[in-house]
Amino acid sequence: MKSNDPKGGTANEIRRLYLQVGNTVTHKRHPEWGIGRVIEEMNSTLPGGLSMIKIAFKDGTRRAFDNNVDSELCCYQAGIRRQK
C-alpha cells in the first residue's frame, strides 16, 4: 500500500530523516571539503527503500549520503553535521 507522503515509504513505514533541501552542512572528518548545501533529496517509495540526499560542497564535488537516521549508514554517522 503506497502513501502520498513525499518522504517516501508506505503508510505503515515512518522514516526519520536528518536533512532536507537547503540545509547547510559540514563534514567533521573532512573539513577540507568546506561547507556544503543539500541540493537534492531522493526517497524510495518501496518499503525499506533508501532515503538519500545529495550535497554540493565548496570544493566543487557533489556527494550522496543516506539520510535515514535509523540507518547505520546515515549521513550523521558518516560525519555530516548541520550548521546553525
- Starting at the earlier edge strand, list the strands of the sheet with 36-43: 62-66, 51-57, 36-43, 24-27, 80-82
CATH code, domain carrying 72: 2.40.50
Whole-prediction pTM: 0.83
Distance (Å, rounded) from C-alpha 41 to C-alpha 58? Answer: 19
Is residue 18 assigned to a domain? no
Integer Cα distance of 36 and 49 in angstroms? 25
Q: Does any domain span residue 38?
A: yes
pLDDT of the residue at 3:
39
Confidence of residue 79 (pLDDT cuts 50, 70, 90): very high
| Domain range for 43 | 24-82
Q: Is residue 17 part of a domain?
A: no
Is residue 16 included in any domain, yes or no?
no
Q: Where are the alpha helices (DSSP H) in the chain?
A: 75-78
Residue 2's pLDDT is 37
If one counts the domains in the chain, the total is: 1
Q: Looking at the predicted structure, is the pLDDT value of residue 26 above 80?
A: yes
**Does residue 4 lie within any of the structural domains?**
no
In a domain, 74, yes or no: yes
| CB of 69 closer than 8 Å to CB of 51 | no
